[in-house]
Structure 1
Amino acid sequence: MGHICVIGGTRFFGRTLVKRLLGEGHKVTVLTRGRSGDDFGHTVSRLSADANDVDALSEAVAGHEFDAVVHQMCYSPVAALAAAKAFQGRIGRLVMTSTIEVYTTVPGVRPFAAAAELDPADHGYDVSLPWLDPDFSDAHYGEGKRQAESALTDAAQFPVAFARAGHVLAEGEFTGRLAFHVDRVLAGARIVTHRVPGRSSFVHADEIAGYLAWLSGSSVTGPVNASSPDGMAVRDLCAVIEAATGRTAVIEELDDPVGDSDLSPFSYPKDFGMVVEHEFSPVGAWLPEVVRREISGR
């Protein structure tokens, strides 16, 4: 078994990843800013640093060696370059948790894109942009991830894999995107979508955590798409909630819904998904239980 460092493993599927690695017999070190606690007890080692600060990160990992790093907090080329320098000579490989959002606004990418259609080596990066400003980074989330992939591809002198995760769903997920739909169906409140909203790609939190654990011990490099193989539109998600609640979703399709406070976070004007090469479970195999657990938590 290996020694795996997880950067940012204290919430959502990061916690699931840490527990998965521990269950597989790995030694795990969790590196965070130290601002929030965890429930891992004495089962993990802990380091504290801001992953965007190359000096602090280098100081934190000095004297440590890892078989792999799973980077959950690499949102920009600033963090990517910090990792490339701090971990040089200290790790066997790095797995960056990336996102489906890297495919937004990229010319020539198909509605359901293959990983090879977006080569990190071709994109480039700009560290002069205000990536540490939360307002800027939130508004440029997909671009930040694209540039992070490019920066690691350019600067890392160790093998790197990029797991481009679909929209991650589980009960109680911290973004509130599943709760957005459940709450509105239960309340009979409107859910706004684009006219004939497109399908997108989704993945269960447990499955993406398991895949990241597998990647940390594999020889895979470069970008890989990580999601269920079948796409899902907002109406499909609402149909599962309707079946679990016995309520009817109030869906309102608009030609130009941008800016509407009731716009579904999963509504797209056309298909926006990924072709997946790794074997993941279809959405229908896990979504109904996720929805039932989300409802039972009310």
Structure 2
Amino acid sequence: MADICVIGGTRYFGRKLVRRLLDDGHRVTLVNRGRTPDPFGSEVDRRVADATDPDALAAAAGASRFDAVIHQMCYTPRDAVAVCEAFGDRAGKLVLTSTLEVYNKDTFRWEIPAPAFSPFASEGELDPAAYRFDLDLPWHDPAFLGANYGEGKRQTEAAVVERAESPVAVARVAHVLDAREDFTGRVQFHVDSIREGREIHAHPSPGRTSIVSTTEAAAALAWLATSEATGVVNVAAPDPIDVYGVCAAFEHALGRKAIITERPEPSGERLSPYSCPADFGMNVDTAAELGFEFTPTADWLPDLAREAAKEA
């Protein structure tokens, strides 16, 4: 049994992460703003703090020691420095939730050259320890942060690796799908479009991308928190998929054909979020080598599509 602190943990795969940890017998402390209800009742300890406020986060951490701290709400290098200072060496491991978007060559800013990423990038192609971060950029501005999400996550990784006083694991998570808690609206977009006979736009000869279910993303984070694994680990199903493959699952569930139209300049409103101009995803060999095997898309996407069709 481990003592684990989860920063966030009230929605999407964060909620499934907490449920997984509790079911595995671990003690869980939640740190968040206390604005979103959670279903865990007396099963968890709760501490209220805005993770972007260093003083509040430090007060919430107090003198407590945890076997692992999992930060699900870390978007800027300032947030990264705050969590490192708040917990110091009282975290046995610091686990950061990051994103596939760090490999997006189109999101590099300020004349930072993008590496020549492979179509399905491996972790070593972007080393957080070799990346620089800038605490003076206007990360407090929501518009700036929204326009620089990928860059914010790259700098967040770099800051955590440099400032943490404990071992670090960075989970770079692929596009996450869930049938019920469709936080992104991506699943609902496909269900509604197919059911209502609306066009789904795609890039010409669309590439494949990496996806993962909320259940598996949660399982991977729980494993990172409780295993000896450290460093950067890609979190995704082993078999990338294109927009046609995604739509096929929903077509079968709904009993209707998708109207997919390839366009040189696809409309943003109708563009499938799983259509890429070229292959863009992640290699997951590292996770397998460390002992975590992801479930192939074909083994879970059809069930998710059926559930989503019923929920809609």
Place the TM-score, normalised by the shorter chain, in its bin.
over 0.9
The answer as to 2:152 corresponding to 1:144 is: yes
Letter in 2 for 1:292: R
1:101 aligned partner: 101
The 2-side partners of 1:233 and 1:130 are apart by 36
CA RMSD of aligned residues (A): 1.0
2:178 aligned partner: 170
The 2-side partners of 1:280 and 1:269 are apart by 25
Q: Deviations over 1:262-298 (max 9, x none)?
A: 1111221000011102210110000001011111012
Q: Map residues 75-90 of structure 1 onto 2, 5 A cutoff.
A: 75-90=75-90
Q: Map residues 41-52 of structure 1 onto 2, 5 A cutoff.
A: 41-52=41-52
Q: Deviations over 1:83-141 (max 9, x none)?
A: 11101022111111111111001331100111111100112111222222222222211
Q: Percent identity?
A: 52
Letter in 2 for 1:189: R
1:33 aligned partner: 33
2:249 aligned partner: 240
Alignment gaps of 5+ in structure 2: 106-113, 288-292
DSSP 3-state at the match of 1:75: coil
The answer as to 2:275 corresponding to 1:261 is: no
* Offset at residue 22 of structure 1 (A): 0.5
Alignment gaps of 5+ in structure 1: none
1:280 aligned partner: 294
Count of residue correspondences: 297
2:163 aligned partner: 155
Note if contact 2:167-2:230 (Cα within 8 Å) is conserved in structure 1.
yes
DSSP 3-state at the match of 2:69: strand
TM-score w.r.t. structure 2 length? 0.93
Q: Map residues 203-222 of structure 1 onto 2, 5 A cutoff.
A: 203-222=212-231
The answer as to 2:303 corresponding to 1:289 is: yes
The farther-off stretch of 128-137 and 265-274 is: 128-137
The 2-side partners of 1:286 and 1:134 are apart by 35
TM-score w.r.t. structure 1 length? 0.97
Note if contact 2:115-2:126 (Cα within 8 Å) is conserved in structure 1.
no
Q: Deviations over 1:242-280 (max 9, x none)?
A: 1111111111111122x5311111221000011102210
The answer as to 2:132 corresponding to 1:124 is: yes
1:67 aligned partner: 67
The 2-side partners of 1:24 and 1:221 are apart by 20
- Decide which of 191, 200, 223 is 2:200's aligned counterpart: 191
The 2-side partners of 1:21 and 1:234 are apart by 33
Note if contact 2:115-2:125 (Cα within 8 Å) is conserved in structure 1.
no
Report runs of 4+ in structure 1 exceeding 4 Å deviation: none
The 2-side partners of 1:188 and 1:130 are apart by 43
Note if contact 2:236-2:284 (Cα within 8 Å) is conserved in structure 1.
yes
The 2-side partners of 1:193 and 1:210 are apart by 31
Q: Deviations over 1:120-176 (max 9, x none)?
A: 011211122222222222221111111100001111111110011111111122111
The 1-side partners of 2:102 and 2:247 are apart by 26
The farther-off stretch of 278-287 and 259-268 is: 259-268
The farther-off stretch of 125-134 and 158-167 is: 125-134
DSSP 3-state at the match of 2:117: coil
